[in-house]
Structure 1
């Protein structure tokens, strides 16, 4: 059980299903009609022509070029543009994401073992396979979209940041932005929390070194006073090699703060105390951020093409949708009788504060769904997405429905915050919520693909549950996956574009 098992499990279903998808739907589908011709231009050596409908940078295209070149090094070495272009078929380009899905599974396995080493390899393997089965991520494994490669780059960035290999992490951060621009938010999130953790580590290390030096001086004095005793050298060794370093680090990592303000001030103090070392360690992230800011100034915005369809909008309801979708996707963690009981107990410990927080959150949520709930033209027109039916058949079934759903949104977010608060600091939880908000609120289009990265981060930091619950959720994911695949494979020839509109009908 381990990395190899995860990669083999993903390949076992991804390879044959990818072949089936390519056999039944050989032509580019949905946004593939933009991505595949663009990368095929790159295969011909045309790097100057750009489709104005493509909104994301060409990071995925570079991955595909490297992938095809690795499979057919002879065509690449001969520099025969026509031969290399013939290799960049729709099927082969789609298989790029099959490889990326295997990498995502391995990275999820390694991240869980790093974040929660007590889970063991067996449970980490099951968890990583579960992540690979998550329906939205799973479906786009078989299409040429940026989502799977984007997740792989972000997870790699996170893993190397946790390992304190900051230059490597920043390189993956830069490449993740080259795949999808909003990944800059996750780079800032990882770097910010990495700086705080690194400053705390340096603070503890410095204090431990000081204490060890005091103990060493004391032991030297005792040895000089007891030079006639045979046990003195042993005493000196025990004092010098005491395990204080480990105890101090554990104590510091588990330190409890009475409030968020105290925790913030403590982080600021430790950052200032080690400002030079922290600045040197995290300068690669600052360099990537400066280049990204220069790109925004040069481009006149964050989106490359189709800017009129992706105008930054105050879509606060998007944050509420994410809470419910994530809580539903992680069902055993959020919607169980024990979870409801835990939340009730959590609120009852401080009734005044929790009642005030619930009322304020509920009021803000009602305001968000009333004033900042956006129906993007793509959402209303393209019925090839689940969101089209959820919007039409659930949210818009009656004018009161969006208000009725508000308490469920609030419950979902309270459950998410409570779960994260059990293993992470308040600053980490606050920065996660702010990162999700910065990624989702400006996006006018409701698209579940945008939720995948924060959902996986949330899953990685959720409490360990039994293998039985993980397997049950895996079977649920598999059922949704197969249903989605069946709907996709056996109805595509009935899609017809309604002339003069952006609407697709069957």
Structure 2
């Protein structure tokens, strides 16, 4: 039932707004001029012509062909279209992403129930609708870009990996790479953590000894407090008491340090290497094929290689932390959250101070030496990042340094929240995956943040219904304002020496 509610909720706003967008902006917009023309080439049966400006594989075009082909027999029967390519209009191609946005919402719903079984059907439905309203994802639902399809494929990889259906997960992994090459990082992330979970299941006694050591100690304290209480009532108290909450958190992360956790898991992986290789053979095949593709292609980018050169853009990593934390306001930017982080650092002042100082120092180096202004960022003001760069980051020479404490706070808050429900090695692998996806990208583009943002939402703790409703209302307000600006503020060209800028 939850799936139907989620799909229906997305459809209620997606189809009318898609119709409005197509009526006001019927022609290809921004990078659509490349994607739509390429898809229409495929619709005409020309699979050999390739636009050199397109940097991603043709996965989206194949999906659109299959989607539109499902309507062709009916259209031909009623003489609506005599040839297949007539149906490949801009509006029809855009509707591919509307359908895929519904698929994304359903996958998020299922993933939440799989990752956090206790969340409940209603809460999972509310969260899925909230993510569907996430402004960056929401906006590109109505345009013909690869982002929505890429997210759908990656979420399917994750869902089937969690269900231990590795062959199906790998199949969707291949599809995800056909939408965007950097998705290979998320395939590795899911496979690696899947292998860790798999090897833990092979050593149930070791896991039990880790997890039971703390509860035994706590149960002695509880029984000493009140030895006259019956066994049944004592169990009830333990379930609802703060002591049990501590046990749950510590049982999820039974190791004393990251080094101990890495060493223990590495040893288990090595001892079970044959079983792991057999179980995860599909992922190994995909990795080998991707390496072969990079060698054959001479790099990860297909077209426009000179404009997408791999660069050490470490500031991009910091931008993601701030943007994601701001988009999850009730989780990260509240007085209680600030006090929690302050008390946490106060428990171990030496380690806490060192972590903050190291974060500030590394962030300063990233901002000062590895902050890149891509020519596309400076030339096209149809992107919000154009204004954020000019009006915020570059408003004066000090501003980019003044934002450093916010970057550090955002990442510390994200890591701390993830650490409450995930193991240290999971958090470390997530942070490294985000860095591997974003740091090599020279262009600041919020679309690149969508997949790690959704993974972050999936693993963040639940919040109250009031805050959830407030977040949904905020997202909806941003979505509507973005739509109004997009539809009713036409652009014109402004020519400058060496550049072409869209101006309002």
> Please, what TM-score do these two structures have when normalized by structure 2?
0.89
Q: 1:496 aligns with which of 487, 493, 498?
A: 493
> Contact between 2:154 and 2:176, CA under 8 Å: does it hold in 1?
yes
* Aligned equivalents of 1:256, 1:480: Cα separation in 2: 41
Give the direction of change, closer, same or farther, for the CA distance of 1:255–1:474 in structure 2 (3 Å limit).
closer
Query: What is the rounded CA distance, in whole Å, between the counterparts of 1:90 and 1:116 in structure 2?
Result: 39
Residue-by-residue CA offset, 1:2-31 (whole Å, 9 max, x unaligned): 000000000000000000000000000000
1:157-211, CA deviations, whole angstroms, 9 ceiling, x for partnerless residues? 0000011111111111111001000000000000011101100012218999xxx
Q: Which residue of 1 aligns with 2:480?
A: 482
Q: Which residue of 1 aligns with 2:397?
A: 399
Quote the offset at 1:274 in angstroms.
Answer: 2.1
Structure 2: tracts of 5 or more residues without a match: 209-247
How far apart, in 2, do the equivalents of 1:43 and 1:21 lie?
23
Give the match for residue 64 of structure 2.
64
CA RMSD across the alignment: 1.9
Cα distance per residue 1:429-465 (max 9 Å; x no partner) = 0000000000000000000000000000001000111
Say whether 1:46 aligns with 2:43: no
Q: Does the 8 Å CA contact 1:69/1:75 hold for their aligned counterparts?
A: no
Which residue number corresponds to residue 304 of structure 1?
A: 302
Q: Is the 8 A contact 2:261 2:425 kept in 1?
A: yes
Aligned equivalent of 2:151: 151
1:45-78 C-alpha deviation (Å, 9 max, x unpaired): 100000000000000001101100112246799x
Aligned residues: 462
Q: Is the 8 A contact 2:253 2:423 kept in 1?
A: no
Q: 1:122 aligns to what?
A: 122
Whole-angstrom distance in 2 between the partners of 1:173 and 1:202? 25
* Structure 1 equivalent of residue 433 of structure 2: 435
Superposition pairs for residues 11-90 of structure 1, below 5 Å?
Answer: 11-73=11-73, 83-90=83-90
Deviations 1:246-297 (A, max 9, x none): xxxx999635111111001111122123222211110100101111111111
Aligned to 1:426: 424
Q: State the distance in 2 between where 1:76 and 1:256 align.
A: 63
Aligned: 1:322 with 2:312:
no
Q: Per-residue deviation at 1:505?
A: 1.7
Whichever of the two has the greater Rg, that structure is: 1
Aligned equivalents of 1:143 and 1:488: distance in 2?
12
SS in 1 for 2:102: helix
Superposed, 1:103-502 pairs within 5 Å as 103-204=103-204, 254-492=252-490, 494-496=491-493, 498=495, 501-502=499-500
Which range moved further: 272-281 or 103-112?
272-281
* Distance across 2 between alignment mates of 1:251 and 1:352: 23
2: CA distance, partners of 1:70 / 1:297: 37
Q: Structure 1: how far apart are the matches of 2:260 and 2:82?
A: 64
Q: Give the distance between the partners of 1:102 and 1:205, measured in 2 at CA.
A: 42
Shift of the 205–179 alpha-carbon distance from structure 1 to 2, 3 Å rule, reads farther
CA contact 2:36–2:93 (8 Å) conserved in 1:
yes
Contact 2:105 2:132 in 1 (8 A): yes
Partner residue in 1 for 2:99: 99
On the 8 A contact 1:136/1:448 being kept in 2, the answer is yes
Distance in 1 (CA, whole Å) between partners of 2:249 and 2:415 is 23
Q: Which runs of 5+ in 1 are unaligned?
A: 209-249
Is the 8 Å Cα contact of residues 135 and 481 (structure 1) preserved in structure 2? yes
Aligned partners of 1:162 and 1:194 also within 8 Å: yes
State the alpha-carbon separation in 1 of the partners of residues 442 and 291 from structure 2: 22
Contact 2:147-2:447 within 8 A present in 1 as well:
yes
* Equivalent pair of 1:199/1:270 in contact (CA under 8 Å): yes
User: In structure 2, what is the Cα distance between the partners aligned to 1:94 and 1:497?
Assistant: 28
Compared CA separation, residues 309 and 318, structure 1 to 2 (3 A): same
Kept in 1, the 8 Å contact 2:253–2:422? The answer is no
- Which deviations, in whole Å up to 9, do the C-alpha atoms of 1:114-161 show, x marking residues without a partner? 111111000100000000000000000000000000000000000000
Match of 1:240 in 2: none
